[in-house]
Amino acid sequence: MVSLLKVVVLGGGSFGTALANMIAENGHDVVLWMRCDEAAKECSESHENPKYLPGFSLDPRIIFSANLEASLEDAGVVFFSVPSKAFRGLASETKEYISKGTRVISTAKGIEEKTFKLMSEVLEEELPQAQVGVMSGPNLAMEIVAKEITATVIASKNSQVCCDIQSLLSSRYFRVYANSDRFGVEIAGALKNIYAIAAGISAAMNMGQNTVSLLITRSLAEMSRFSASLGANPMTFLGLSGVGDLFVTCTSPLSRNFQVGLALGQGDTVAQAIEKVGHVAEGINTVRMIKGEAERLQVYMPIASALYETMFNGQPVEEGLKTMMLAEQNSDVEFTNK
């Protein structure tokens, strides 16, 4: 059934482009919508996205368009691959063009700043006629277009949505796993960006592998502790959308949030780090939001708190590390049977 549906990817950034390329390679009709008409024309002529994925030749079957209404006409599956700050606005724009029962899938890894809502919740509010899902995992766009073996997670309250997306995207190098814990999968994708910034700082300071191991492990504990307090299944964090995504984002220089942390560790301000990276790094706003929400919920998050002080209150990086090391020593593994 999925093979007969027209697929639309909204957002011509690195991941949206890689996603559209996979779909086209699998033989499906796909439109990659970009807000900028000039960029769409350039990509259509060159079959390359020089701004986000330079040097990679894209499947010639991809249709590039800046016309939102025309792009969404008769669409059966729509992927929203835009930053969280632009998400609600775009979802609202598409409302009159998306039919009842259309599968709409968020690939954004962020939280709406004013409401603390996840992107799937935004989709449900703006597009009540659609069937909503979330796609998340250790998915670096440049490795996907290079056809490196990769896997992701599709999560939805509707099991048929999961099956359809698995059928649509699976290939010899891309595997899609399903999960019914949509909230856990999505919040994990947003939270790991915080700790990627911390990992970038540690890399800039030439910290050893023992330290990196400590950072990733305790970051996972914070993520699962916070999310479980809001209703997520803590076991979700042992999967690709949890520890898998956390690991790749904390260890790869391809990660934008890691790059921000690297710049901060080298002495740049947050504004300078943003300018240096040049693309949206969701973790910056997520740090601010999670700090306030953790305090409201009284959830213990020493790494996130120390990172907030470093980024927004001028606390030296070394002082933040000391704060973490002197924090209360809890048990190593949480959520075990008692």
Q: At what angle do helices 283-297 and 182-204 cross, to 10 degrees?
A: 110
Q: In what order do the strands lie in the sheet with 150-156?
A: 63-65, 30-33, 6-10, 75-80, 103-106, 131-136, 150-156, 174-179
Of 128, 67, 134, 122, the residue nearest 95 (C-alpha)? 128
- Any idea which residues carry the catalytic annotation? 192
* Token pair recorded at residue 68: 């939102």
Residue positions counted in the chain: 338
Report the half-sphere exposure of 226 (CA within 13 A, side-chain side). Answer: 27
User: DSSP for 58-117?
Assistant: PPTTPEEES-HHHHHTTEEEEEE-S-HHHHHHHHHHHGGGSPTT-EEEE----B-TTT--
SS3 content of the chain, % helix, strand, coil (to 5): 55, 15, 35
